[in-house]
Amino acid sequence: MNNLCADIGYKSINHYGEQLCGDHIDVLEQDENFTVIVLADGLGSGVKASILSTLTSKIISTMMADGLSVEDCVETIAATLPICSVRGVAYSTFTIIQLINNEMAELIQYDNPHIILIRNGKNYDYPKTEIIIGGKKIFRSSIKLLENDVFVAMSDGCPHAGIGVGYNFGWERDDIIIFMEALANAGYTAKTLSTYLIDEVNRLYGKQPGDDATACVVKIRRREPMNILFGPPSNRDDCNTMMSLFFSKEGKHIICGGTTSTIAAKYLRRPLRASLDFENSDIPPIAKIEGVDLVTEGVITVNRVLEYAQDHINENNKYEKWSRGKDGASLICQLLFEEATDINFYVGRAMNPAHQNPNLPINFSIKMKLVEELSKCLKQMGKHIKVSYF
Amino acid sequence: MKVTVCIGSSCHLKGSRQVVEQLQYKLAENNLKDKVELGGTFCMGKCQQGVCVTVDGKFFSVTPESVNDFFKTEILEKLA
């Protein structure tokens, strides 16, 4: 076991006028040591393609996770997929990335554009072995993982972007490589990298994609623990226990909540300095305590963080807002979404009597709900979450 | 003179931002920036009476509507 982990993010756009995407991505994380990612591109577009790709990716990920061989998977798919009445074939291309012990990546590629691997900011031409299974030409590679490796898997909708509109032959793989090389080491999350790639594809298509296009980015990074304290404990006597547990943990420390940070400042015997800088935002200003990486207000800030988190796992439209913002909510987002891989929540269940006022949009149950929803979103981003209540 | 405004959750919802900005504006307008230190703090434990403001430790309850009067009587006249 090493201290690496994988950040996985993807985004798709649909063929212009279609409501369903004909590409499908399935990520199956069996445990911390084995992850399968399958990107399948169904023949054609719309419903038929969507069914083909969903079946393909689901079958492969399930079989692979059970330890079956590629040969078995390919045979099963060939025998299972419904045959297209127009074209007389059952067909879906696929790209498989298996991550083993966070040490090795096994790539299996069939008819999709080849995975781009960016290592140390430069394109890395990894070795491939060609094998034939059931008449299908399949490429296999085994790669030892290094920190900062970025794998970019795509459906052919990406390199076809702009055919006839901006480019004669579409957005060629070499040009995509140059595009991704520039972004790979800038500290973006996998989700954001895939969003940038797909946004560019969409732009090249003139916002009317001629094919479904999907990008899946796997970024190998060092594990980064993060601790977040939210709310005072329900029993005053537990303050010291909560604080000593929180501060003894490795990684950065974030404190949310006015009363909570006052308690923490007392525990650390350091002054709490609140700033008055609103940073052009409707979020309350942050504060500073020596020894704490970030101190913010509580419910209002965390509520905004949740809003950004829900957007980040779906459309990722509000990315520009939080990625450069200096307000409390944006700063928490940058730490939790981009930096952290393992997040420990320390949640206090104390009730603030001032919040139990029907005129205020904050109360105890909302606070608990926030934590639940936020940890759900963070899990979907692939983070390892632990929540402790006090 | 030290003026502290609460920027905790409750006071934020009751308009502490407007209070802070108005005070900053008034201080600049009256050239009092080097005489008055304006600072923020988290919860003072009197959320019901927010927006909570203290002037040299003395507690006041201010609203965005009353901030101009507050500035006049508690800051401007006290300094004069």
The CATH number linked to B16 is 3.40.30.10
B17 chain-A contacts, CB cut-off 8 A: 278, 282, 284
pLDDT tens digit string along A245-281? 999 999 999 999 988 999 999 999 999 988 888 877 7
pLDDT > 90: what percent of chain A? Answer: 53
User: What sign has the CA pseudo-torsion A95, A101, A102, A104?
Assistant: negative
Q: Exposed e or buried b for every residue in A118-133, given b needs 16+ CB within 10 A?
A: bbeeebeebeeeeeeb
Cis amide leading into B51 (omega within 30): yes
**What does the alpha-carbon distance between residue A33 and residue A105 come to, in Å, rounded to a whole number?**
12
B10 chain-A contacts, CB cut-off 8 A: 354-355, 360
| Residue A97 dihedral angles phi and psi, to the nearest 5° | -120, 120
Contact check, Cβ <8 Å, A278/B17? yes
Q: List the single residue in B with minimal CA-CA distance to A299.
A: B9
H or E element that contains B27:
helix B16-29
A355 chain-B contacts, CB cut-off 8 A: 9-10, 47
Q: At what angle do helices A47-65 and A70-80 cross, to 10 degrees?
A: 150
User: The tokens of A183 are what?
Assistant: 């972004």
**What does the alpha-carbon distance between residue A65 and residue A60 come to, in Å, rounded to a whole number?**
8
Chain-centre distance of CA A18, in angstroms? 25
pLDDT at residue A102 in the model? 86
CA distances from A305 to A46, A53, A146, A223 (A): 35, 34, 31, 22
pLDDT tens digit string along A104-149? 999 999 889 999 999 998 999 999 999 988 778 889 999 999 999 9
H or E element that contains B6:
strand B2-6
Q: List the single residue in A with minimal CA-CA distance to B50.
A: A354
Closest by alpha carbon to A110, among A84, A136, A79? A136
Contact check, Cβ <8 Å, A299/B24? no
**What does the alpha-carbon distance between residue A117 and residue A227 come to, in Å, rounded to a whole number?**
32
CB contact B73 to A (< 8 Å): no
| Cβ neighbourhood burial of A113 (10 Å; 0-12, 13-18, 19+) | buried
pLDDT at residue A360 in the model? 62
8 Å CB contact between A113 and A159? yes
Contact check, Cβ <8 Å, A274/B41? yes
- Closest Cα in chain A, distance from residue B34 (Å): 16
pLDDT tens digit string along A2-50? 788 899 999 999 998 888 999 999 999 887 788 999 999 988 778 888 9
Band (A202; pLDDT cuts 50, 70, 90): very high
Contact check, Cβ <8 Å, B42/A258? yes
Task: Enter the ipTM.
Answer: 0.72
Question: Which residues form the domain of B42?
Answer: 2-79
- Closest Cα in chain B, distance from residue A52 (Å): 51
Per-window interface: B 38-57 vs A, CB < 8 A: 38-43, 47-48
Q: Which residue has the tokens 């909708």?
A: A157
Which of A287, A299, A360 is closest, CB to CB, to B42?
A287
CB contact B22 to A (< 8 Å): no
Tally A–B CB contacts below 8 A: 69
Domain count within chain B: 1
CB contact A328 to B (< 8 Å): no
pTM flag (> 0.80): no
Strand ranges (E), A77-174: 92-100, 104-110, 116-119, 122-123, 129-133, 136-144, 150-154
Per-window interface: A 243-282 vs B, CB < 8 A: 257-259, 261-262, 272-276, 278, 282
Which of B9, B17, B40 is closest, CB to CB, to A274?
B40
pLDDT at residue A352 in the model? 72
Share in percent of chain B as helix, strand, coil (round to 5): 45, 20, 35
CA distances from A219 to A118, A147, A363 (A): 10, 8, 39
B18 chain-A contacts, CB cut-off 8 A: none
8 Å CB contact between A98 and A105? yes
Contact check, Cβ <8 Å, A278/B20? yes
Give, in degrees to the nearest 5, the angle at Cα A230 between A226 and A232: 135
Structural domains of chain A sorted by starting position, each given as residue range(s) with its CATH number in brackets: 4-221 (3.60.40.10), 225-389 (no CATH)
- Closest Cα in chain B, distance from residue A304 (Å): 13
Q: What is the DSSP letter of B71?
A: I
- Closest Cα in chain A, distance from residue B47 (Å): 6
pLDDT at residue B77 in the model? 87
pLDDT in 10s for each residue of chain B, 80 residues? 889 998 888 888 888 889 998 999 999 999 888 888 888 888 887 888 878 999 998 999 999 999 999 999 988 888 87
Name every residue whose Cβ is closer than 8 Å to that of residue A97 and which is 6 or more positions away in sequence.
Answer: A36, A37, A38, A105, A106, A107, A115, A151, A153, A216, A218
CA dihedral B70→A296→A322→A339, nearest 10 degrees, is 160
Which of A258, A278, A285 is closest, CB to CB, to B9?
A258
Chain-centre distance of CA A284, in angstroms? 28
Which of A275, A276, A297 is closest, CB to CB, to B8?
A297
